[in-house]
């Protein structure tokens, strides 16, 4: 359908809900980073983030008006380029905190694993929207998995466990939306859940096994396939328990700290404990902007990165934290709404994939800050400091708005 420039710029086509929510979150992020760096002698991070935010706005606007067919056509080349960048960073990248995941560009850093997230979503959507592809055929299922496992494996090799988890997290909602069978979805999620449960002890592991057995029984799928899924789930859980028992005591302690920060309150668990104190001390209305004791006394090292959520939570209390959560939830709901109204299967899958990426980030990051999830270095979209993270998040918002703009295309 032909659209004039005035038509594109009108409220009828521009997704003001996605754009408005994104800008609101970016502003909250800038305000929070300013506070976090105010008395930490790190104001350069705040000004750098402003530049990234401006560049992100330009990028988001460019993606919104990008021709839909061109975006679809470039999905595979963009994915291939992101894979080349992931390979390249292993060869010439900068090693920071033990992870070789950055390209140094002047005084800035570029993280290819962030760029590869939307690239993988685009490739998945392009492949699964092909009319000849069906998730009932083994070769198509394997190809779908490989599209995600390739960047995921390269990220794990850096090593960057947190980012790798995000790739795995995006796959499940995309498969569900693409019409995958419940058995296929269960075969993906059950072993992972069993592995985590096994780390917490025998009882949680047995509970997961019973639940999986009941789910397979109620599904009444192919008996052989169900037996394979159940056996794999049990095998993964038992293997985790066995391997844990073979570890040296210091290695076991690392895992214990990973699961429960209180085991090492002055070491690996320090940030989580201080973050929980900051969030809890904010009360209902908070201590006031620039008045947070945990924030301004720098109890949490580099709090403007992965633990940024504790800053507005302490200074604006439960009310401020709730506003942030509501904005993030609104963006996720909007993404699902766009996926539902898009006539193009490609556009619909892109929207769901982006929702999956955002959802995994939000759950893990806020869970980390509240001591409910292990600390695995996952930033909070739009709020955490980091050019690659902010630019990628705004790019994905632009993709959502583009899918809305072209919701009537087939």
- pTM recorded for the entire structure: 0.88
User: CA nearest 296: which of 28, 30, 36?
Assistant: 36
Residue 360 has pLDDT above 70, yes or no: yes
Residue 46 has pLDDT above 70, yes or no: yes
- State the pLDDT at residue 64: 93
**At which residue do the structure tokens 């509970």 appear?**
207
Give buried/exposed letters for 13-48 (b at 16+ CB in 10 A, else e).
bbbebbbebbbbbbebbbbbbbbbbbebebeebbeb
Q: Are 25 and 383 in contact (CB under 8 A)?
A: yes
Give buried/exposed letters for 288-315 (b at 16+ CB in 10 A, else e).
ebeebebbbebbbebbbbbbbbbbbbbb
Question: How far, CA to CA in Å, does 348 sit from each of 95, 206, 342?
Answer: 37, 38, 5
- State the pLDDT at residue 242: 76
Across-strand partners of 104?
109
Tens of pLDDT, residues 296-349 = 777 777 788 888 999 999 999 999 999 999 999 999 999 999 999 999 999 999
Residue 370 DSSP symbol: T
Q: Tokens in use for 321?
A: 């934290």
pLDDT > 70: percent of the chain:
88
Q: Lowest mean pLDDT: which of 3-7, 71-75, 127-131, 401-405?
A: 3-7
Distance CA(176)–CA(336), nearest Å, equals 13
Tens of pLDDT, residues 134-181 = 888 889 999 999 999 999 999 888 877 788 888 888 899 999 999 888
Domains of the chain, by residue range, sit at 5-405
């Amino acid at each position: 359908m032909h659209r004039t420039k005035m038509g594109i710029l009108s409220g009828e086509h521009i997704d003001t809900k996605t754009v408005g929510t994104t800008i609101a979150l970016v502003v909250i992020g800038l305000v929070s980073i300013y506070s976090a760096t105010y008395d930490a002698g790190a104001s350069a991070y705040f000004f750098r983030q402003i530049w990234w935010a401006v560049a992100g706005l330009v990028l988001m606007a460019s993606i919104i008006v990008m021709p839909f067919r061109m975006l679809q056509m470039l999905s595979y080349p963009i994915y291939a380029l992101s894979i080349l960048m992931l390979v390249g960073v292993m060869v010439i990248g900068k090693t920071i905190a033990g992870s070789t995941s950055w390209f140094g560009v002047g005084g800035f850093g570029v993280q290819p694993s962030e760029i590869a997230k939307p690239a993988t979503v685009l490739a998945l959507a392009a492949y699964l929207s092909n009319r000849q592809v069906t998730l009932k055929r083994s070769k198509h299922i394997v190809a779908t998995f490989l599209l995600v496992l390739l960047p995921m494996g390269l990220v794990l090799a850096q090593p960057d466990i947190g980012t790798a988890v995000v790739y795995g997290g995006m796959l499940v909602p995309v498969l569900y939306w693409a019409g995958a069978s419940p058995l296929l979805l269960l075969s993906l999620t059950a072993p992972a859940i069993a592995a985590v449960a096994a780390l917490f002890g025998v009882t949680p592991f047995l509970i997961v096994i019973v639940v999986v057995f009941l789910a397979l029984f109620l599904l009444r799928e192919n008996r052989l396939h169900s037996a394979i899924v159940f056996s794999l789930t049990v095998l993964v859980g038992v293997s985790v328990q066995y391997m844990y028992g073979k570890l040296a005591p210091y290695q076991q302690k690392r895992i214990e700290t990973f699961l429960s920060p209180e085991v090492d309150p002055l070491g690996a668990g320090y940030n989580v404990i201080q973050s929980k104190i900051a969030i809890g001390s904010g009360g209902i209305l908070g201590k006031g902007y620039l008045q947070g004791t945990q924030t301004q006394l720098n109890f949490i090292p580099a709090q403007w990165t992965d633990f940024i959520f504790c800053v507005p939570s302490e200074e604006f209390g439960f009310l401020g934290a709730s506003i942030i959560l509501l904005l993030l939830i609104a963006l996720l709901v909007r993404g699902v709404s766009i996926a539902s109204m898009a006539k193009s299967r490609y556009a619909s899958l892109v929207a769901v994939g982006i929702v999956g990426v955002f959802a995994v980030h939000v759950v893990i990051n806020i869970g980390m800050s509240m001591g409910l999830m292990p600390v695995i270095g996952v930033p909070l979209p739009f709020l955490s400091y980091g050019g690659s993270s902010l630019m990628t998040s705004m790019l994905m918002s632009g993709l959502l708005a583009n899918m809305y703009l072209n919701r009537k295309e087939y």
